[in-house]
A = this chain, B = another copy of it.
Amino acid sequence: MTRPSQPRTPVTTGREPGDLMTDHVSGDRMNGDRMSGDPVEEFMKRRKKATINDVASLAQVSKKTVSRVINNSPSVRGETRDLVNDIIARIGFRPDPQARGLAFRKSFLIGLIYDNPNAQYIVNMQMGALDGLRGSGNELVVHPCDWKGEDFLDEIRDFVELQRLSGVIILPPVAEDRNLLALLDELDVPFIRVTARSGDVNDPPIAGLQIVSVDRVGCEQAGEHLVELGHRRIAFIAGNSLYPSAHARRAGFEQGLAKHGLGFAPDLIEQGDYSFDSGFVAASKILSRVDRPTAIICCNDDMAAGAYKVAYELGLRVPDDLTIVGFDDAPIAARLNPALTTVRLPTRDMARTASEKLIGSDAKPGASVVFDSVLIVRGSSGPVPK
């Protein structure tokens, strides 16, 4: 535990009068000539935020060496490193992100870019992103935006450039914007997009790591589930076609039915936009027909809630008169009566993975991490009525 024979020249050491070191040979515990024992303790009494300079002067090395220790530079002798780390721990030094950022030209801020902030999956993903960032020294800056807005791209450019973001996470549906991806590429900021694998097996490769959900799997299960319950005349409420999830889900549901030689009733396919209201409207059309279906598949839970409302108003009982299936397993799914059969996606985990990959920077462009969806059977799906 003895300190190394001091390697520094005693001349022009740049010591100020206020410095805390004893002259000459020193040694850790033999400098008790002043009553106030430890220079470190002395320092702590000042109750001021420690800087790299404090560490340097207490450890009697240059700030550059401290910097090396902080950044795990290999060219620091083990003893020196231990000494510096010890001081750092004792005075509770933590490098200032602002100063560090200024020098590094990055901010240690991760931007979370998304549209429609109300959706439940956004909330989940925000939590997940925070999960992944925790303890990493990065903070999350949320940035809802108006995709499709006039100067969407300019606004993002400003945000990323001005804040010198360390990374960006893009959530659906914004994550589909090729122009945005190109912009981020141009700005040379690491980014990760969260998206749903579309129906096409081979999407064109794209910059940045992708976190991909396979909505299809759970949907397929859901489709089969309905057929097994005996349903033959099945309606469908589609999601906003700007979302790849809308296509992936539809493809999944259809494939589930197709496995048994079935498909959606062609006259009972309605376009929705993932909103409760659109679900209500679509279900109204569907259920007002004389030969109404025995089941409705909705591209998400919110639209399913709209279908519930229509059924309620028409006096149809779920699932006795009508089976309803959703997607998301949003909180509302369990709160509907009866609880909604739906498909669950690990949205929070997906976003956590996104931020972990982002800061871990093992984000090889083009690579992707895949998450599967799974069917959750609850009370809204039942055997076809006689």
Task: Give residues in A with beta carbon < 8 Å to B.
Answer: 49, 94, 96-99, 101-102, 107, 109, 117-118, 123, 126-127, 130, 139-144, 158, 161-164, 276, 302, 305, 308-309, 312, 331-332, 334-338
Contact = CB atoms under 8 A, between A and B. Distances in A.
B130 A144 contact: yes
Contacts of A97: 107, 162-163
Contacts of A139: 109, 141, 143, 163
A352 B272 CA distance: 31
A140 to B, nearest CB: 6
- The A interface, classified by DSSP as helix, strand, loop or mixed, is helix
A273 to B, nearest CB: 16
Contacts of A161: 49
A212 to B, nearest CB: 25
A312 B335 contact: no
30 contacts: A94-B162, A96-B102, A96-B164, A97-B107, A98-B102, A98-B107, A98-B164, A99-B102, A102-B102, A109-B109, A109-B139, A117-B123, A117-B126, A118-B331, A126-B142, A130-B144, A139-B141, A139-B163, A141-B141, A276-B331, A276-B334, A276-B335, A302-B335, A305-B335, A308-B335, A309-B337, A312-B337, A312-B338, A331-B332, A332-B335
Given A98-B107, A312-B338, A144 B123 contact: no
Nearest to A104: B98
Contacts of A141: 109, 139-141
Contacts of A335: 276, 302, 305, 308-309, 332, 336
Contacts of A162: 94, 96-97
Contact of A117 (B127, B164, B276): B127
Contacts of A102: 96, 98-99, 102
